[in-house]
Chains A and B, each alone.
With several copies, the nearest count.
Chain A
Amino acid sequence: MEIKDIECLLEGILFAAGDPVSQERLCKTLKLDQKTVDTAAKHLSEQYKLEHRGIRLLKLEGTYQLCSAPEYAECIRQILNRNKPPRLSSAALEVASIVAYYQPVTRAYIDQFRGVDSAYTINLLLERGMIVEDGRLAVPGRPILYRTTNAFLRVFGLSSLEELPELPQNGEESNH
């Protein structure tokens, strides 16, 4: 097999895999030595870059993986996103509101406020960077406190927390 053929085959394999494929496995199945596989991979990778192609070949800890070219990331995101900009679920909105108005708050406080377990939603907001952990409350169990982030402000088009709309009138006073 010529090096060019190996490159094409490698491309096909890595494409179909999506995930990283180990060098070892490639060598074993294709019955090629490591150097040949590596040369083909390197060549393929350089070609992608040189020609500004839409895909890139990554070599990470003895594995190869194809991924989309980072310079197209924004465009790709736009296309693959649903037509309308994604919105938070109503559960996430509720949790975000509680944190925004009463921060810093504990998970127990949020749970009590909503009357349902909010662990999953809190994690989701943490992952999205809309809330962060902010110390612990000085009570037994030392529960984590949460507050909103700048990303939260950005999503809601606010420039500071002072711009939060006023709370509906029948808002009860409450403690942590």
Chain B
Amino acid sequence: MIRLDAPIFHLKKVVKSSREPLQDFTGPLDLILHLLEKNKIEIQDISVSFILDQYLAYLQKRQQMDLEIASEFVAMAAHLIYIKTKMLLNAAHQGPPSEMEELVRSLEQRRQGEAFGKLKETANLLGENYNQGVNCIVKPPEPPKSAAPLSLKHCPEDLDKAMAQLFSRMVQRTPPPMCIFEQIVPQDPYPVETKADELLSRLVQSGPSSLSALFRGSQSRTELVAAFLALLELIRMRRIRLEEGKGGYAVRLASSLKKQKNITPNIENFS
């Protein structure tokens, strides 16, 4: 990963006083809040597109990014767009106080808050410490050298209890009575064998058929499934052939069987 220092953002167009030095702020939102606080800019003057342009240019420049910085940008951009949207909407409808007004008011409150001012001073003091403190690098715990089966401690009764629990679960697991399923599966599955018979006699009587026609007239889901399985099995046994035609697939009897009459398919237990 490319190592990135926090980028510097220039907000020349929106900064009213040129005397304010452009500081190397860690995030653009920080910079904006700082400037707002010092009355150097007004939130109305912030051109969202201007900042977004810088942001996008920055993204293009860096293929690999420090995710932390990138996420700060995304958060900032989203925040600004939100404020701007609220502003635009409020210009048209005189609604409740806008986010912008709230922000400005909260900034004023913030200026008034003495406690906060003092805390900020102290925070800056702490910030200097931080630059030292981050250089104390800690290490991850050492992986245990040996598995610790010996330090495990159980009494034999734990085994007993575990078994009792298992047995009680097993009782619960005895299969539910069939009557519960009667509603769900109202009839026996359609036998594949019967379906295969049907399909063959239909092909013998009416000649080749389209694939979909063979499924038509099925009364239930299981009959459909049976038809599908029967088709597969008949193809496997080379009784019928599936051919691709213009309008889709056609099913015809395999030529060797065409002349035979009364074919009884010999499909073994695959239903």
Contacts and interface: CB of A to CB of B under 8 A. Distances in A.
Instruction: Decide if A and B touch, CB cutoff 8 A.
Output: yes
Interface of A: 15-19, 56, 58, 65-68, 70-71, 73-74, 76-77, 80-81, 83-91, 93-94, 96-98, 100-101, 113-116, 120, 127-130, 151, 154-158, 163-168, 170-172, 174
Contact of B110 (A58, A66, A114, A172): A114
B163 A96 contact: no
Given A83-B1, A128-B147, A156 B173 contact: no
B107 A101 contact: no
B164 interface: yes
B159 A87 contact: no
Q: Which of B25, B114, B115, B129 gathers most chain A CB within 10 Å?
A: B115
A44 B124 CA distance: 32
B116 interface: yes
Interface stretch (B11-19, B150-158, B191-199, B208-216): B150-158
Contacts of B167: 168, 170-172
A15 B106 contact: no
Contacts, number: 248
B123 A172 contact: no
B154 A87 contact: yes
Interface in B86-122: 103, 106-107, 109-110, 113-116, 118-122
B152 A56 contact: no
A18 B158 contact: no
Which of under 10, 10 to 19, 20 to 34, or 35 or more describes the interface residues of B?
A: 35 or more
Interface stretch (B26-34, B47-55, B255-263): B26-34
B33 A156 contact: no
B175 interface: no
Tell me whether chain B's interface is mostly helix, strand or loop, or mixed.
helix
23 contacts: A17-B139, A66-B139, A85-B152, A85-B153, A86-B69, A87-B152, A88-B152, A88-B158, A89-B27, A93-B158, A94-B163, A114-B110, A115-B113, A115-B169, A154-B149, A155-B130, A156-B126, A156-B129, A156-B130, A157-B129, A163-B156, A165-B156, A167-B163
B178 interface: no
Contact of A16 (B66, B142, B163, B171): B142
Contact of B163 (A67, A97, A130, A154): A97
B176 to A, nearest CB: 14
B220 to A, nearest CB: 32
B127 A88 contact: yes
Interface in B28-82: 29-30, 33-34, 66, 68-69, 75
Nearest to A130: B149
B136 A58 contact: yes
B116 A115 contact: yes
A168 B164 contact: yes
A167 B118 contact: yes
B160 to A, nearest CB: 4
A88 B1 contact: no
Contacts of B150: 151, 154-155
Contacts of A90: 26, 30, 34, 120, 123-124, 127, 162, 165
Closest 4 pairs (CB-CB, A-B): A73-B135, A115-B110, A70-B135, A155-B133
Contacts of A171: 114-115, 118, 163, 167
Contacts of A67: 136-139, 142
Contacts of B119: 94, 97-98, 101, 113, 167
